[in-house]
Structure 1
Amino acid sequence: MLSVEYRKLAIEDCVLINDINPSQYINNAWREVDGKRQLVKINYQDTDWANGYEHHFNSLKATILNNGEAVGAFDQNNKLIGFITLNREFFGENYKYVLLDQLFISLEHRNKGIGKMLFLIIAEKAKEWKADKIYICAGSAEETIAFYFAIGCKETVEMNKKLYENDPNDYQLEFQLQ
């Protein structure tokens, strides 16, 4: 059985994301077709970081420098196998949202509960900050969206136009904090 340690990431840990295998085969993805969201066959092998490694490295660094929260999952050899980041800035008109900026699990460690545990840890931090909800711009792959729905996320009720326009294919979700 895999032994996983979860701990807060520091600036010097950012380079460790290079150990993660972010590749993903996308068979189906959610797309807007004739005004209705539906699954569309994509049949695409994404072999690297979406938007490039530097983008994710810099986003992780920015989250830490701006008092956000970054948590890593480490295997028994102290290798980073997953991470999640939560940005500190509040936004929203009717709710206080915080953005789940990144969640990655290395390919060989998916479907082991690591992503769910990272999400639960970050949800506790969002509660400490007195946020109402976590906002997620999820990649539209069928498995990605299924994961978020399985842990209790729903389609957002208050769309962040800027985040939506950044990538209209992303699925805009939210998680209600109790």
Structure 2
Amino acid sequence: MLIERALKETDISLLALIDRTELINECYRLENGELLLYPEHHDMRGWPEGEAEQDAVALHACFKRGGWLHGVFDGEQLVAAVVVDTRVIHNQGLQMRQLKFLHVSQGARGLGLGGRLFALACQHGVSVGAQALYVSATGSRNTVDFYLRHGCRLVSQPDPELYRQEPEDIHLFRMLP
């Protein structure tokens, strides 16, 4: 049985146990303001070296400054999680909050958990007065298509700090009601 709940600081280490296995055959890149799909093959198994540890440091800092962390558990196993940071991003003439993390374990995909967690992140954004969520997404087709299906659009000018951190990501935003 799946259980949703707010994540505690002690749960942050569990995020590294989310199974990111994915066979990627296509990716997007931004070219002249348009998304360009191109063949790119990756057999993603686990987390890239050092990324889980780096994410844990960033998510602990996010938690300490009041970030919102929510997860889905299958028994004791964390199978999906979402994080919204408190930092206000001024972009597109809007006050945004960053969707800092959204992952669903390979075995739990196809159950609607990603869409459910994204909707909860949008609700959280509204509750803290954000006008939009800012998403810096890996360029894999599945990831970008997910965000586009859920109402995200390209930002006209990426946030300089987030772009510096992830220059190859696709930078998107989702208007909030």
- Distance in 2 (alpha carbons) for counterparts of 1:122 and 1:36: 26
How far off its partner does 1:157 sit?
3.8
Q: 1:39 to 1:130 in 2, by over 3 A?
A: same
**Alignment partner, residue 154 of structure 2:** 155
* Mapping for residues 1-178 of structure 1, pairs under 5 Å: 3-32=1-30, 37-50=35-48, 52-75=51-74, 77-93=75-91, 94-178=93-177
Could you tell me the percent identity over the aligned residues?
23
Query: What is the count of residue pairs matched by the alignment?
Result: 175
Q: 1:96 to 1:34 in 2, by over 3 A?
A: closer
**Structure 1: gaps (5+ residues):** none
Higher strand share goes to which structure? 2
How far off its partner does 1:59 sit?
2.1
How far off its partner does 1:48 sit?
2.5
How far off its partner does 1:113 sit?
0.5
Q: 1:66 to 1:34 in 2, by over 3 A?
A: closer
How far off its partner does 1:156 sit?
1.7
Residue aligned with 2:25, SS: strand
Could you report, residue by residue, the CA deviation over 1:118-154 in whole angstroms, capped at 9, with x for unpaired residues?
A: 1111111111110000000001000101111111111
Residue aligned with 1:80, SS: strand
| TM-score relative to the length of structure 2 | 0.91
How far off its partner does 1:158 sit?
4.6
How far off its partner does 1:166 sit?
2.0
Could you report, residue by residue, the CA deviation over 1:4-46 in whole angstroms, capped at 9, with x for unpaired residues?
A: 2211111111121233112222110012457753111111112
Whether contact under 8 Å (1:92, 1:158) holds in the other structure is: no
Whether contact under 8 Å (1:153, 1:176) holds in the other structure is: yes
Residue aligned with 1:123, SS: helix
Q: 1:15 to 1:35 in 2, by over 3 A?
A: closer
- Distance in 2 (alpha carbons) for counterparts of 1:154 and 1:35: 12
Q: 1:7 to 1:31 in 2, by over 3 A?
A: same
- Distance in 2 (alpha carbons) for counterparts of 1:118 and 1:13: 17
Does 128-137 or 57-66 show the bigger shift? 57-66
Matching residue's letter, 1:119? F
Whether contact under 8 Å (1:82, 1:106) holds in the other structure is: yes
Matching residue's letter, 1:53? A
- Distance in 2 (alpha carbons) for counterparts of 1:21 and 1:6: 18
Q: State the Cα RMSD in Å.
A: 1.8
Residue aligned with 1:91, SS: strand
